[in-house]
Structures are given as C-alpha cells and as structure tokens.
Amino acid sequence: MKYQYWNEQFEKMPRPDLESWQLQRLRAVTATALRTPFYRERLTKAGIRNEAGIKSLEDLRRIPFTTKQDLRSGFPYGFLSIPREEVVRLHASSGTTGTPTTIYFSRDDLSRWTSFVARCIYGTGCDKTDVFQNMITYGLFTGGLGFHAGGEEVGMLVIPSGSGNTARQFRLMQDFGTTVVHATPSFLLHVESRMREEGVRRESLALKRAFAGAEPYSEDTRRRIEGLLHIDVYNSYGLSEMNGPGVAFECQCKNGLHIWEDGYIAEIVDPQTLEPVADGETGELVLTILCREATPILRYRTRDLTGFYTEPCPCGRTHRRLRRITGRSDDMLIINGVNVFPSQIEEVIMAMKEVGNNYLIVVEKDGALDRLTVKTEVGPEIFMDDARPLNALRDRIRAHLQASISINPRVELHEHGSLPISEGKAVRVKDTRPRDL
C-alpha cells in the first residue's frame, strides 16, 4: 500500500526526536499553565514554580492530575491563560456526563488544531479530489467545525450538512457526488437503515470512506457499516478538552488509532491506583495538550478506557497507537452486583446478522433487584408477525448475551427502524434506578 503523509517530518519523526520535542513543548505549556489561577496554585504546591521545574519527561509525573470536576470548578475563565482579547473562539463539551466545560482558542491554536485534523483526514487517503459531507452536529460541539476546517485545509470540497435529516443527506450525496462522510457510528447505521425507505440505491452514491467517532463502537459495528455501505470506516477519537477531533485517528492500516504525540502526551493509568499500567495493558487514558496556548490542560483524566499497541505500525508513523476505546470508566453498569459495560452488549448483538442497526439498554428496579432489558431492532428482512422465528431469535440473543455478561437479560425485539435515534451522540443506556445519595 502507498501511504500518504500530511506532515511527513513529524509523522515519521524518530522517537528520540519526538521525545525531545515533547519535553520542549511540555516546558512551554507548563509556563503557560502557571499563568492561570488554577495551575498556579496546583503546580506551586507540587513544587513546580516555573518551567525549569520540568527537567525531563519523567517530571510530568510530578504534575497533579486534572479532572472534569476541576475544569467545572474553573468555569468560566479559570483556565484561560492569555488575555481575553486574544481569544477568537470557544467550544464546549457535549455534557454527556454533566455540566459542559468550556475551552478557548487563540488564532494560532485554531490553526494548529486544524493541521492535526487535516493530518488525520489526509492519512486515510483523502485529497482535494474528494467531496466531504460533514454529517455531525455543528455549533459548540467540536466535531462540526473541527472536521470542517480540517477538510478545507486538505482542500476537499466540504459540505457542512450537519447531522439528521437523512432524506436531505442522500440528496446532497447524490447531487454533489460525496465521496467521504463524517458521522457518529450510530448515525451511519441509521443512514443505512433509511436508504431502502428513501429509495436510494447504493450504486447512485460515490461514497468511499467514513470517519466515525464521538462515541464508542465495536469492531463488529465497524464491519457492519463497512459491509452494508461498501466503504472504509476509520475510527476518529477526540474530546473537547483536548481541542476536539484530531487527537487520535486510524491510518490506512485500520488497526489502532495513532495518537499525535507531537501535540499530546498520552499516559495510561490504573483508574484506581493512578499508577501507570504495564505496556499494552488497559487503563484510563490521561492526556496533556502540547499544542494549545489559550487553555492549557495538564494530565487530564479522560475516563476513557484503552491501551497501547506495542508493535510498530506498517505505515511508518512513529506515533503510538491506541486500541479502540471501549467506553468510559464511569459507563460501567453494576447490575445485581455484576459489572457490565454497554460495549460488551453492543459487541454481542452487532455481530448477529438478524439484528437490525439500532438498540437500547434499559436498567430498572424490579423490587429489590435490578432488571436488564435489551431492546433491539430486527433486520429489514424479518417480519414481526411471524412468532416462531422471532422467539428463536430472541432466545439466541439472550443466550449469547448471557455467555458474555453472565446476566440473563430480557430481550425485546422491535420492528426495523422503530427505536428512537438521537441527533448527536447516541443514547444507548436508560438507567432508571434511583441513585444512592
């Protein structure tokens, strides 16, 4: 395969050079962070009074972690490190787990962010001959404008379609010959489900690739989307605290996400002890942003669970690869004392051909016990009025789930296209159990 690089010098930089670059940047962002009230207090307490306090990359571990709670406590301007007049944009997280947090960008921050996103896009084989439909929410969410700018930087024709409205999405794809799209994996599945109803033939589309991210999904979901739409799907990972998209992305090898180590320092720690895990083990991803001056964030606990691949990538990039992010440590459900990650359920059902493209996990109280119900749509070829095959399918799903999660769930089958879909990130879990205070 012939690989293409947006910034070959940095993407293939030998590790020792990459590490000296990181050290130099880490010292610079430490100096920047010391200008914010939050880090001035935190870093001084940790004995770091100026950038000279960082002598080697190991000194990173002297810096305390930053949590989402810390960011909220600094709302609105506690993490701003440049004069307000130098800020040209703000973004906010989607607020999946509570009050959103705000991130500020200077003009240079925006251009650095854009070049990281361009690097990701170009690395999948796209170039200025492509037509790029950005089917994701615009606005405060970083996925819209982030990919928009990156796509323009590569020179593609960018269609800012936003998410939702599948009929219009198909029309745009057909009118302008869209070759690449960006969306959440759940929206891509929804688009595929709607094709038949909208009377759209695959042959009428020029689609070749999709970037899918913003929420966790399994390898089986990727394969399903690729098989149904006949495209290549690339995993895209980012978070607003670290600019948004452009943090880690798959190259054409589609085997792990290169995390751009000239822009970020990645650590993987045990979420309980906060000590680094052994190489290749799973833990919580902790990120330090090296490429932003307006809002420095050091050692941010993402809560996202992943690990490093240890072997080098055939594409020649020297930046390490993250395994698919399976979810956040706080996604874990405890059902009658058993720990279950929604991703385990997704993996089981998306691997079953007869199951449709949408599902919902419901957890409720049933007396003293917890009850898990998995609602899934059936594929378009399955009729809901034929009880026998439906019962057999339901039993099979239940058996597969029980084997994977050690809990016997209720399984409900729903007609193709009947479960609700959300415009932004998919809401896959409805947990109605009262919370302990």
321 binding ligand ADP? (CB under 6 A): no
Residue span binding ligand ADP (CB under 6 A) among the ranges 117-125, 208-216, 274-282, 389-397:
208-216
214 binding ligand ADP? (CB under 6 A): yes
Out of 33, 48, 313, 345, which residue is the one contacting Zn ion (CB under 5 A)?
Answer: 313
94 binding ligand ADP? (CB under 6 A): yes
Q: How far is the CB of 318 from Zn ion (least distance, A)?
A: 10
Taking the least distance from each CB to Zn ion, the nearer of 313 and 372 is: 313
Residue span binding ligand ADP (CB under 6 A) among the ranges 94-102, 115-123, 201-209, 314-322:
94-102
237 binding ligand ADP? (CB under 6 A): yes
Binders of Zn ion in range 212-271 (CB under 5 A): 251, 253
Out of 213, 263, 307, 356, which residue is the one contacting ligand ADP (CB under 6 A)?
Answer: 213
Taking the least distance from each CB to ligand ADP, the nearer of 25 and 328 is: 328
Q: How far is the CB of 294 from ligand ADP (least distance, A)?
A: 17
Q: How far is the CB of 376 from Zn ion (least distance, A)?
A: 34
Taking the least distance from each CB to ligand ADP, the nearer of 79 and 141 is: 141
Rounded distance between C-alpha atoms, residue 22 and residue 42, angstroms: 21
74 binding ligand ADP? (CB under 6 A): no
Taking the least distance from each CB to Zn ion, the nearer of 224 and 324 is: 324
Taking the least distance from each CB to ligand ADP, the nearer of 36 and 326 is: 326
The candidate with the shortest Cα–Cα distance to 235, out of 207, 266, 214, 220, is 214
103 binding ligand ADP? (CB under 6 A): no
Q: Which two tokens stand for residue 167?
A: 């009929």
Query: What does 251 bind: ligand ADP, Zn ion, none (CB cut-off 5 to 8 Å by kind)?
Result: Zn ion
Q: How far is the CB of 267 from ligand ADP (least distance, A)?
A: 15
304 binding ligand ADP? (CB under 6 A): yes
Out of 106, 169, 221, 235, which residue is the one contacting ligand ADP (CB under 6 A)?
Answer: 235
Query: What does 313 bind: ligand ADP, Zn ion, none (CB cut-off 5 to 8 Å by kind)?
Result: Zn ion
Out of 123, 151, 216, 296, which residue is the one contacting ligand ADP (CB under 6 A)?
Answer: 216
Classify 302 in phi/psi space as left (phi over 0), alpha (psi -120 to 50) or beta.
alpha
Taking the least distance from each CB to Zn ion, the nearer of 126 and 205 is: 126
In the 3-class helix/strand/coil scheme, how is the chain assigned residue by residue?
Answer: CCCCCCCHHHHCCCHHHHHHHHHHHHHHHHHHHCCCHHHHHHHHHCCCCCHHHCCCHHHHHHCCCECHHHHHHCCCCCCCCCCHHHEEEEEECCCCCCCCCEEEEEHHHHHHHHHHHHHHHHHCCCCCCCEEEECCCCCCCHHHHHHHHHHHHHCCEEECCCCCCHHHHHHHHHHHCCCEEEECHHHHHHHHHHHHHHCCCHHHCCCCEEEEECCCCCHHHHHHHHHHHCCEEEEEEEEHHHCEEEEEEECCCCCCEEECCCCEEEEEECCCCCCECCCCCCEEEEEEECCCCCCCCCCEEEEEEECEECCCCCCCCCCCEECCCCEEHHHCEEECCEEECHHHHHHHHHCCCCEEEEEEEEEEEECCEEEEEEEEEECCCCCCCCHHHHHHHHHHHHHHHHHHHCCCCEEEEECCCCCCCCCCCCCCEEECCCCCC
315 binding Zn ion? (CB under 5 A): yes
The candidate with the shortest Cα–Cα distance to 393, out of 407, 404, 379, is 379
Query: What does 93 bind: ligand ADP, Zn ion, none (CB cut-off 5 to 8 Å by kind)?
Result: ligand ADP
User: Total number of residues binding ligand ADP (CB under 6 A)?
Assistant: 19
Q: How far is the CB of 326 from ligand ADP (least distance, A)?
A: 8
- The CA radius of gyration of the chain, in Å to the nearest whole number, is 22
236 binding ligand ADP? (CB under 6 A): yes
Residues forming the site for ligand ADP (CB under 6 A):
93-96, 141, 213-216, 235-240, 302, 304, 325, 328
The residues that touch Zn ion, with contacts defined as CB under 5 A, are: 251, 253, 313, 315, 317
